Structure formats: C-alpha cells, structure tokens
Structure 1
Amino acid sequence: MENIVVSIFRVESEAFQAFSELKQFGQTKNTKLAQASIVKAEDGIIKVKDSFDLMNSLGNDYFDGGLIGSLVGILGGPLGVLFGFVAGGTIGASIGLDKELANSALITTVSEKLTNGEVAIIALVQENDESVLNAIFEKYKTIIARWDIATVSAEVESALQIQQDLAHQAEARLIADKKEARKEKFDKLKADIKEKFDKLKADVKEKF
C-alpha cells in the first residue's frame, strides 16, 4: 500500500537520528522508501530542515514525485500557519492517538499537533509490512500515523485550490481598498477645490 507516513517527535535529536537511519534504509520487497523530509515547527511556522529523494532508484513513474514537496510547501505556507494558529493543539500521549490522527486530514492534523520546537518526519513509501518502518521510529519518543497516498493527493489538490482562491480574494481586496482609497482622496480633493471656489465667490461678492 502506498502511504504518507508521519512521525512526530518530542526530542529533536531523536528525530534527526531516525532520519539518518532512513537515509541508510535498504529497499526491501515489502517496504520501499521514495522520499522523506524532516520538518520543525519554529515560531508558528513549519520549516524544512532536510530532505532526500530516492525516486531515481525506484523508477520515474513509481510514485507521484511532487507530492511530498507540495505537502511540505502547504504545511509551511499560509494554510499551515492558519490551521496551526486556529487549532493551537498539543500532541499528548493518549492511547489510540495514532488511529485518531490517521482518521483526520493530514494537513490539518500536522499543523495542529506539531507545536513549537517539535520535529516530524514525513515519508512517501510503499509498504506491505508497517512494522519495518515502525521499528525505526518506535525506538524513540514519537507517535506515528499513516495516510493513503490517494487521500493525501486529493487533500493537497484541494489545499492548493484553497490557497489560490485565498490569493485571488486577497488581490481583489487590495484592488478594492486601493479604489476606495483613491475615491476618498479624490472626493477630498474635489471638496477642497469646491471650498476654495466658494470662498472665491464670497470674496468677489464682498468687493462688488
């Protein structure tokens, strides 16, 4: 099954150690790792710290090559910031949280759960046995969730459309604000000129 695997770490050094292990990962019949990124929440923004791409070793058409890049771009963009700001959630360590995360939308979930200072690994994989990658992550204090690649692709496409719509709305608002500002400026100028003409008329009447 093709999945996006997300592992959220409390300890940054452990996340980088796990990421280093992924870089050394040998492809197996049951588990193939295509791409991975390690991201960190800093000052309310999700930033990429490192990435690697093994697509060439799997063939150009093996996976959707742009999915991880698009996903990380959204998480670090306006939508990711918005979702994180609105939710303001924390991870917690409740039993069953992994399943709870997997039942939520990936972009919203990561934006909510990845709090300042925490680090996550996001990987694009094909796996018939989840225990292979779990064995790498479960050595550390982390939670793991998986999303089907088709579901994430649809979510990314929707998020990109939302970003585009928001950009258009913002542009339209700026144009409208500029028009309103110009109108106010010209109305004031018109009023000032009228006032000067009225004063001029009054002065002329006084003289004659």
Structure 2
Amino acid sequence: MEKMLVVAFESEQKAYEGVNALSQLDSEGSITVHAVSVIKKNDEGKTVVLKTNPEFPIGTLGGTSIGSLIGLLGGPYGVIVGAASGSLVGLTADLYVSGVDGEFVDDVSKDLKPGAYAVVADISEEWITPLDVQMEKIGGKVFRSAKKDVETEQINRDIAAMDKEIKQLEMEASKAPGEMKAKLQAKIDNLKEKRQKKVEQANKRFEQMEKEHNAKVQALEERSAKARGETKAAIDARIAEINEGHQRTVAKRKNMEAELEKKADKLVAKAKILKN
C-alpha cells in the first residue's frame, strides 16, 4: 500500500539515522521508498528541507506528494484553514496533491515543535512492524497515512462550480439592459479565463502525476528483475497495486476530460446565442 510517512526526531543526527534505517528496510525489501527528505522546523515554525535523497525514484520535490506534504507541515492545519483566502487556495491544493487529510497534517504539525527534525517519505509497505521497530530503536515517533486519491475529483468539482456560475451569469446577462449586460459579460469573460487556467493547471498536474508514477514503476521493475523468491513477489505485488491505483486515476481523468469538453462546447454555443 502506498503511504505518506513522517517520523519525528529530537536531533538532526537521529533524523539521518532514520533515513539510513529506511534505506536498509528498502534494501531488504521490507518496504519500498519512493522519495525521502530530512526537514527541520525552525524557530519561526517554518519547515526547512535539509536534504533530499536523489538515489530514490522521486529525487525532486516540486509538484510531488512529498513536496506538498512538507509545505503543509509549517503549522497546525486547523489554524491554516482560517488564514486569508489567497493562502487557503494554495494550501488546499497542496493537501490534495499530498494525498493525506487535514487531520493527519494537524497531528504531525502539533508534534513537530520548533527545533525538531523529521524524516518525510513516500513509501509502499504491507506490514508496519518492520519500520516501526527500527524507528522505535532510534527514538523516532512514526506518523503514517495511506495515500488518498481525491485530487482528480476536486479538480472536477472546482471546474464544475465555475461552469455553474458562468451559466447563471449568462442567464442574467440575457435579460439585462445595456450597461448591466456589459458588466455581466465582463464577469463572464473573466470567469472563463480563470476556467481555462484551471484546465491548464490540471493538465500540468496530470503530466506530473504520470512522471511520478512512471518513476516509481520503473525503479520497482528494475529491482524485481534482480530479485528472487518472496522479495520478488512482494515487489511485483507493489507494482500491481501502484498500477491499479494509477489506472483508476487515469480513468477518472478521461471521464473528467470528456465531461469538461462537453461543458466547454455548451458554453461556446451559449455565448454565440447571447451575442446574436
């Protein structure tokens, strides 16, 4: 099962011991590490990335699940959601990308005090005991969450909400007198522009998800080719699970794209009617 992992430590040295423990478990086949970083919460309560290990399949943070999770760990999520709307939009997007929920972020953030260190990782594991035993020996406190696929649905909901608002404004514009009609049309044009940007952002995010998926599977396939017995079986099972999850996401995306195309055609047709 794919999971997001955070292990809190009291010192930088212990955090790096935690990374070494993850690497050992990965080598043994007990878990698969897709990405790992060491972070520190500074005196201002912000998270600072100290090291990202390029040896694992996902060696960069930009746009990835682990990068988004690190970005969320700067404070209790319950406090974050009460912030200004401009910040909320970005933070909510990070939450969807990270694959965890607000409760998980809140639990970790409350425990990760200023001056504390943590190992943050994107992993696959079947049994929690091997990892928990190793981290307990080092003095780490383990937080883990199964990755949730809510991102595609949220993108669809966001665009559907824009379409609903556009439709309402177009109805009002069709009945409005001259000056008001022009003002409403300006709002419609602005909303359509935002909608297009949202679609473009979604396409870029889907490309990133595809790269992330391919990197994980390629690394696992290379390991499977060299493995034998139970280790090979475990790796192959992880590959199958990751592929199944990705196929579900791709199916959702295709359905979303088909629905968006239909709605876009309707919006264009409606705009032509209003202009005439």
Structure-2-length-normalised TM-score: 0.40
Asked if 1:40 corresponds to 2:40, the answer is yes
Question: What is the CA distance between 1:24 and its match in structure 2?
Answer: 5.1
Alpha-carbon distance between aligned partners in 2 of 1:8 and 1:108, rounded to the nearest angstrom:
14
Alpha-carbon distance between aligned partners in 1 of 2:8 and 2:58, rounded to the nearest angstrom:
27
Alpha-carbon distance between aligned partners in 1 of 2:6 and 2:66, rounded to the nearest angstrom:
11
Alpha-carbon distance between aligned partners in 2 of 1:52 and 1:80, rounded to the nearest angstrom:
27
Secondary structure of the residue aligned to 2:114 is coil
Deviations 1:14-37 (Å, cap 9, x if unpaired)? 112222343455445542111111
Alpha-carbon distance between aligned partners in 2 of 1:46 and 1:133, rounded to the nearest angstrom:
24
Tell me, yes or no, if the aligned pair for 2:47 and 2:71 is still in contact at 8 Å.
Answer: no
Secondary structure of the residue aligned to 1:150 is coil
Identity %: 24
Q: Which sits farther off after the overlay, 104-113 or 116-125?
A: 104-113
Question: What is the CA distance between 1:82 and its match in structure 2?
Answer: 4.8
Tell me the residue number matched to 1:55: 57
Alpha-carbon distance between aligned partners in 2 of 1:50 and 1:56, rounded to the nearest angstrom:
13
Q: Which sits farther off after the overlay, 124-133 or 17-26?
A: 17-26
Alpha-carbon distance between aligned partners in 2 of 1:29 and 1:13, rounded to the nearest angstrom:
25
Taking a change above 3 Å as real, the CA distance of residues 81 and 132 of structure 1, as seen in their structure-2 partners, is same
Tell me the residue number matched to 2:22: 22
Structure 1 residues 33-182: aligned runs within 5 Å:
33-43=33-43, 44-53=45-54, 54-55=56-57, 66-76=64-74, 82-83=79-80, 105-150=103-148
Deviations 1:33-76 (Å, cap 9, x if unpaired)? 1111111111111111111251279xxxxxxx810011112334
Tell me the residue number matched to 1:171: none
Secondary structure of the residue aligned to 2:115 is coil
Alpha-carbon distance between aligned partners in 2 of 1:103 and 1:72, rounded to the nearest angstrom:
13
* Structure 2 portions without partners, runs of 5+: 84-99, 159-276
Taking a change above 3 Å as real, the CA distance of residues 75 and 129 of structure 1, as seen in their structure-2 partners, is same
Larger Rg: 1
Alpha-carbon RMSD? 3.6
Q: Which has the higher contact order (CA 8 A, sep 6+)?
A: 1
Taking a change above 3 Å as real, the CA distance of residues 134 and 118 of structure 1, as seen in their structure-2 partners, is same
Alpha-carbon distance between aligned partners in 2 of 1:75 and 1:56, rounded to the nearest angstrom:
20
Deviations 1:143-190 (Å, cap 9, x if unpaired)? 112101117x66xx79xx9xxxxxxxxxxxxxxxxxxxxxxxxxxxxx
Question: What is the CA distance between 1:121 and its match in structure 2?
Answer: 1.0
Q: Which protein is richer in strand relative to its size?
A: 1
Taking a change above 3 Å as real, the CA distance of residues 23 and 106 of structure 1, as seen in their structure-2 partners, is same
* Structure 1 portions without partners, runs of 5+: 58-64, 87-101, 162-208
How many positions carry a matched residue from both structures? 132
Question: What is the CA distance between 1:138 and its match in structure 2?
Answer: 1.4
Tell me, yes or no, if the aligned pair for 1:75 and 1:81 is still in contact at 8 Å.
Answer: no
Tell me, yes or no, if the aligned pair for 2:18 and 2:140 is still in contact at 8 Å.
Answer: no
Taking a change above 3 Å as real, the CA distance of residues 73 and 21 of structure 1, as seen in their structure-2 partners, is same
Secondary structure of the residue aligned to 1:17 is helix
Alpha-carbon distance between aligned partners in 2 of 1:143 and 1:37, rounded to the nearest angstrom:
16
Alpha-carbon distance between aligned partners in 2 of 1:29 and 1:10, rounded to the nearest angstrom:
28
Taking a change above 3 Å as real, the CA distance of residues 50 and 80 of structure 1, as seen in their structure-2 partners, is farther
Tell me the residue number matched to 2:198: none
Question: What is the CA distance between 1:128 and its match in structure 2?
Answer: 0.9
Tell me, yes or no, if the aligned pair for 2:35 and 2:121 is still in contact at 8 Å.
Answer: yes
Taking a change above 3 Å as real, the CA distance of residues 18 and 30 of structure 1, as seen in their structure-2 partners, is closer
Deviations 1:105-153 (Å, cap 9, x if unpaired)? 22222222110111111111111121222233111222112101117x6
